A and B are shown apart, each in its own frame.
Chain A
C-alpha cells in the first residue's frame, strides 16, 4: 500500500499489543465495545460496518474460544470471515509463517487475526503484509484483546479501572494474558499484584510496575479483582512446581483464599479453566462473585470494536479500492 491515509481516532494500523496504546486509545476501544454489548443482546446482531471486508483468522496455535470469538465478531460486523489453522510443524515454523503471510497477502485480505506460539511472531508477520493485523496472542508476549475484554468486564461491573487493586495469580512467566493485563491496568491507573511461586514469576516483574508476591494471603490483601491464570500441564510434575495438589494447596482459589481479598472481590479467568487445579468450582460457578461468563460475552464486543477501529484506518476505507 503506497498512499498512507491519515489515521482516525484510533491512530494505529495494527493492534499488536497493549504496549503503545494511550489512555485515550484504550478508553475509545472500551467505549465502542460497551455499545456493542447492548447491540449483541438484540435479536438482529448484524451490522454492515465491515461489509465487503475480508477477515482471515490465522491460527498457528489451536484455539477454540478466541478463534470463535473473533469469527463471530467479524460476522456480526458483516465481514467475510475465513479461518485458517496452520499446524505448526517442529521444523521451519518461521518459514511457514512468512510464506503463509505472503500467500495470504496475495489474497488481499483487509484484516488478519493472528495467533502464534512465538513471542514477536505477529509483529514480524505484520511487517510483511499490507492489511491490518490483530494480535490474537503471540507466545508469552501479548494478548491485547484479552486485556481489553477483561478491562471492559471490570469497568462494567465496578464502573472504573482507576484506583482498583487487581491480583493476577498463577503462571505469570509464561502468560501473555498477564503481560497485556499488567500493561493495560497500569496505564489506566490500577494497581497490579502478581502472585505465584517464585518459579512462575518472571525476572524483573517489579520493574514493569507490579508488586510480586509468593504468598497468596499477602498478595490478595485489599484486591478488588482476582484474576486466575490457567496452569499448563507441562509446567507441573516437578519441572516448575512439584505437583498439582501442592499447587492447589498453595495457590488454588477457593472460598477461603478468596476471603483474603477485599470483601466482595470478584473473580476472573481467561479460560479454559482447570477446575480443582487453579480454581475451585464453587468459586468459578458462583454468579455473585465470578465474572467468567461476562468475560466471554465482552470478548465478542471488544473484538468487534477493535476490528471496526482498524478497518476505519485501512487505506481504502469509505471508498473503492485504489
Chain B
C-alpha cells in the first residue's frame, strides 16, 4: 500500500453500526478507515477534502440485484450494473443466480467473481442457486459453492415449491451455517396472477395474486426452519400478513430474516393503473395498508434489509400487454434516494433505514463492510441528504430503463462513492 492519507473533513458522519451521527472527519490511510469522528487529528501532509457539511455514509450493500450476465447482456452486465450502483452510493451488490446459465456450479461462481473483478467498479458478491438450474428439485453443492465465493443460496425469482426439497436444503445448509433465501410466491396460488388481487385487478380485468400466495410459503418454511435449524431469509415480502407472520416468528425465536424492496416502501398497487408495466413486480405492489405495514415492519426491525430488487428489462419485454410484460424494475441507482425520500416524508428514521442497507445485510451475509469503524475498508458515499431531484429513467446508468419510480420526485443526491478508498463515482 502507498500509505496515501486523505481526510474528509466537515462531514456529517453517519454509521448505524457505531451509532454514529456527528459532524467530523473521516481519515483514510491505506484504503482503510484510520479514524472517524469529531476529534480526528489530521496529519500535516495529508490531502484534505472538505465535504461542506454533506453526509458520509457507509457504502450501501444491495442484497438483491439481477443482472443479465451471463446470457442476457443486452439487459445488463456486471459492469453497467456496477456503474449504476456506484452512482447510487452502493458499494457492494449481491447478484442473483438465475442467469443463463444458472449459477449453480463453483466454476460459474468463479466466472462471476472474475468478471466482476475485471469489469465491475463496486464489490460483487454472488448468490448461487439453491437447486440445480433453479428448477426446485436437486440441491446444489453448498460447500463447494461457498468456497468459490457464494454468499447465500436462492433460486432467484422462483420459489422452491417442494417442501421436501426445502426441508433438505435447510437441513444440509445448516452444516455450513449457510443462508437459504426464498422468493416466497406459491406458483400454484399465483397461477395466472400478475398483480395484487382485489378491486383494482378486477376493474382492469387482470388475474390477481392473493397475499396468501406469499404467506403460505412463509408459514410452511418457518415450520421447516424450526424442524431443521437452518438459517432462512425471504428476499422480499409485500403484504401486511407477511409482516405479522414474521414478527410473530421472530418473537418465538425462529431463525428468520427478510427483506423488502425500496419500491414496495414507496409505491402501492395504484401505480399499476393504466396497465403501467414498469410497476409490474414480483412480489406485486399491494394495497396502501400493506405498504404502511411494511414501513412499520422496517421501523420495528421485523424487516431486516431493504433491497432494490434491481431487475433490468429491455423495452421490448416491458412494452407488452400487462399480462405478457416482464416483471421487475431497475433500482440500484435510486435505492438510497428512495430511502432518503421516505425519511424526509417522516415515514422512517434515518439510522434505521441506513442500517437496513449497510449493517444488517453485512451481518446476514457475513460480509465485511457496511460500516466505517477503524480498520474497515474505506467503502463510503458522500451524500447531500436533502437535495431534491426528479428520477429520469433515460438518464440512469443501467442498460435498461424500466424504472417504476420514473418521473417521481426524490430527495438525496450522491456526490461521490468510494470503494476501497478509491473514487468510483463523482457527480459531474
Interface of A toward B, CB cutoff 8 Å? 19, 93-95, 97-98, 116, 118-121, 123-124, 138-142, 176, 179, 202-205, 207-208
Contact = CB atoms under 8 A, between A and B. Distances in A.
A116 B200 CA distance: 20
Contacts of A123: 274-275
Given A142-B205, A203-B197, A203-B201, A94 B324 contact: yes
Nearest to B210: A203
Contact of A179 (B198, B203, B210, B324): B203
B199 A97 contact: no
Contacts of B199: 203-204, 207-208
A118 B321 contact: yes
Interface size range on B against A: 20 to 34
A204 B198 contact: yes
A120 B207 CA distance: 12
A205 B202 CA distance: 7
B319 A208 contact: no
Contact of A119 (B197, B206, B316, B319): B206
Given A124-B275, A208-B199, A119 B204 contact: yes
Given A140-B205, A208-B199, A118 B319 contact: no
A203 B204 CA distance: 12
B197 A140 contact: no
Contact of A208 (B202, B206, B210, B324): B202
B278 interface: no
B425 interface: no
B320 A94 contact: yes
Interface in B285-325: 316, 319-325
B208 interface: yes
Nearest to A120: B275
Nearest to A202: B202
Given A95-B316, A203-B197, A203-B208, A124 B202 contact: no
Contact of A120 (B204, B210, B316): B204
A176 B199 CA distance: 15
Nearest to A139: B205
B321 A116 contact: yes
Interface of B: 197-208, 210, 274-275, 316, 319-325
Contacts of B322: 118-120
Nearest to A183: B203
Contacts of B319: 94, 98, 124
27 contacts: A93-B320, A93-B321, A93-B324, A94-B319, A94-B321, A94-B325, A98-B319, A118-B322, A119-B206, A120-B275, A124-B275, A124-B320, A139-B206, A139-B323, A140-B207, A142-B205, A176-B205, A179-B203, A179-B205, A202-B201, A203-B197, A203-B210, A204-B198, A204-B203, A205-B202, A208-B199, A208-B203
A44 to B, nearest CB: 40
A119 B321 contact: yes
Contacts of B205: 119-120, 138-142, 176, 179
Kindly name the residue among B204, B205, B206, B208 whose own CB sees the greatest number of chain A CB atoms within 10 A.
B205
A97 B198 CA distance: 28
A32 B324 CA distance: 37
Contacts of A124: 275, 319-321
Contacts of B316: 95
Contacts of B208: 203
Contacts of A202: 201-202
Given A119-B275, A120-B206, 14 more contacts: A93-B320, A93-B321, A118-B323, A119-B206, A119-B321, A119-B322, A123-B275, A139-B206, A141-B204, A141-B205, A176-B205, A204-B203, A205-B202, A208-B202
A94 B277 CA distance: 13
Contacts of B197: 203
Contacts of A141: 204-206
A94 B205 CA distance: 17
B198 A121 contact: no
Contacts of A119: 204-206, 275, 321-323
B321 A97 contact: yes
A141 B210 CA distance: 19
A118 B203 contact: no
A315 B275 CA distance: 27
A145 B321 CA distance: 21
A247 B208 CA distance: 24
